[in-house]
Amino acid sequence: MSIDIYQDIATAYNAAATKAPGLKARFEAAGFDPGKVSSLAELSRLPVMKKEELLKLQRENPPFGGFLAADLKEIAHIYVSPGPIFEPALPGGGGHGLDLLFKAAGIGAGDIILNTWMYHLVPAGLLFDEAAQAAGATIIPGGVGNTELQAQIVVETGVTAICASTAFFLTLADKVIETYGRGAWKVRTALLGGEMGDWMSKRRRIEAEYGVATWAAYATADLGLVAYEDGGEGYVVHPNRVVQICDPVRGGQLPHGETGEVVVTARDATWPMIRFGTGDSAFALESNQDGSVRRLSALQGRVGAAVKVREIFVYPRVIEEVVIATPGAIAAQAVATRENDRDLISISIVLQESADRIAAEAAAKEAFQRHARIRADEIIFIDALPENAPLIVNGKDI
């Protein structure tokens, strides 16, 4: 991480505090001087701000809680996320950095992209649209729904890439093949997102069954792109973001490799997101020399979604890894219980009919221990799990 980013943060947030009274009040309450930021250690003196705190401030002082550090006439869009939380956005910027994902995926001039993300209120549709244009591609603003029409569009316009949730991509791909035949399916790339659950295993199946390369990014409405896939493990952090993994309660930075809350500082301070707690949990795969994150793991779940078992937090993502690593596994669920003052955790797995149970049990045990750092007490094979069943259940107090 270049020291220049901290110099830029110091300059940007020092100026922003003169324009945004809410930001200035946050700094004053913490005894924090943004102009003195010269390192990650200095930046970390500012307490983490949670999304819930921003929501409260916006309700008290609508619409932006006193955090807008730009003239309203400069704002191109105001996005509205659930809460509602209002997020202002200036024009341009390659979809707040999402163009880096398109370029990493090799998408550019000559590609025709069907964008099925919502264009109303929330940022996803427009940000993907702007990013695709910045990368040089042609975009079809499909939005959500209208599956039959969008299937026709895919075939008749020669769509080469689709931006979608995993669930809608599957629905759309099946509709194309059902209506027009397998030979009509020419899509080469899918940019997917919007789901937790067994998302990675779904992506693997999509790649195998539909012959596409799948790509994803980690972005939020407040910050735009935080990190993106570049062909390596996990996500590489956007060069204009400082990412830390912090204790979700105390806010202090955690050691490399430990799972905690993703805390982000943006280099630009027009919408001053500094030490902003996303509410998502992950861990650092690679760290910069100063301790900030260079490469981020896949998201482990929302903060609070983990269950503590024998002093170790087990995240939903661990169970997803078990499904991926277990031959023949379709789905799985972990249940934590407590008997005789000892925490227990069992894993129920749904297997394909032809799967080898002995091999599956061994693989599941090994994968769980490797990712959770504790042993599973029991592996159970079951016929089915309810649709959208949680990956991990806390039954310790039942």
Geometric angle at alpha carbon 93, from 214 and 233, rounded to 5°: 30
The predicted-structure confidence for 276-330, as pLDDT tens digits, reads as follows 999 899 999 999 999 999 999 988 888 877 888 887 778 888 898 899 999 999 9
Report the greatest alpha carbon distance in the chain: 66
d(CA 359, CA 363): 6
Sign of CA dihedral 28, 34, 36, 41: positive
Asked if residues 332 and 372 have their Cβ atoms less than 8 Å apart, the reply is no
Residue 128 CB partners (closer than 8 Å, separation 6+) = 95, 98, 115, 117, 139, 163, 191
Residue 51 has pLDDT above 90, yes or no: no
Task: Take residue 93 and report the two structure tokens written for it.
Answer: 């910027």
Report pLDDT for 2. 66
pTM over 0.85: no
Residue holding tokens 């309700």?
Answer: 59
Residue holding tokens 């999402």?
Answer: 98
Residue 341 has pLDDT above 80, yes or no: no
Residue 31 CB partners (closer than 8 Å, separation 6+) = none
The predicted-structure confidence for 344-391, as pLDDT tens digits, reads as follows 999 999 999 999 999 999 999 999 998 888 899 999 999 999 988 999
